[in-house]
Amino acid sequence: MRLSTSILMAMPLAAYAAEEGKSVIDEYKAKFDGFLGSFGAKPVQLTPEQQARYGAEEKPVEGGALTELTLGNWKETLYSSIPEGSTTPEDWWVFVTGRGKSCNGFCLKAESAFNQTAETFAAQTETDTPNMALINCDNEPILCSSWSCGPGSLWVFDLLPAPADVDVHLTRVNLSSITPETFAGYLDPAARANFTQLESVFHPFNSNLAKYDLAVPFGYAIHYISKIPNWAFMFGLSAISRTMMTNRMQNHEARRQRAAAPPATPAVKI
């Protein structure tokens, strides 16, 4: 009887774990399909089941409730709401999304939920709500590379007037189960307890790359390096290793020949 009770109690947990595992597998599959796309291969299309789990109809956000960040406007946009001399951090929530190239269609549901949340926040004039923005990595691959961010993540910025350091906390969202209510729930600081504070060389504000204006060049480098096929990397490494081994063998042979050569006969003075 105890065994049967334990099994019955474990069944909901097993079902939940299976659901979560399926979501994670789908997300990694999307990344793999995007990797194949860099070689010109056609990514696998969403199945009807996946379309139901991740798909959503694209609808524009009304009333300027949401700003789309680009490589050219992101910093100016984030600082635009910060009053000069302010000592209270201003919150910006930035959701990183994508389409076929970077997310393979798996981000549409989460993006739609974020858009609905932005519209809800914009209508709540009596409540202190964050500013909302979006990055589409399909349209802004350099920006995503310079931040080292991927689709399906929510970034929370606490901004003070420049040049103060900026605290950034982020989390991955479940692309299949996220809802507007989930995003709205993050207004409660306790709900953000599991967010990770960003301490990275790719920090958009605090890192040395950002302070010395190297983040964008580095983003370009990472982006274009990622376009090089793996076989080209392997070919280059193979050529370099063969050259090094050949030079080493030639030097070894030259030393062996010098060691085996008879000593030179000293000159006889007359």
CB < 8 Å & 24+ apart, contacts of 19-27: 19/176, 19/177, 20/174, 22/176, 23/53, 23/174, 23/175, 23/176, 23/177, 26/50, 26/53, 26/54, 26/106, 26/175, 26/176, 27/106, 27/152, 27/175
Residue 88 sits in a domain whose CATH number is: 3.40.30.10
146 located within any domain = yes
83 located within any domain = yes
114 located within any domain = yes
269 located within any domain = no
Based on the structure, what is the number of domains in the chain? 1
Question: What is residue 261's predicted lDDT score, i.e. its pLDDT?
Answer: 66
Question: What is residue 105's predicted lDDT score, i.e. its pLDDT?
Answer: 83
Provide the domain limits for residue 105.
19-226
239 located within any domain = no
- Report the alpha-carbon distance of residue 241 to residue 232 in Å, rounded: 14
Low-confidence ranges of the chain (pLDDT < 70): 1-63, 126, 228-233, 235-236, 252-253, 261-270
The pTM is what? 0.69
268 located within any domain = no
240 located within any domain = no
5 located within any domain = no
Question: What is residue 255's predicted lDDT score, i.e. its pLDDT?
Answer: 74
CA distances from 262 to 103, 259, 268 (A): 70, 8, 18
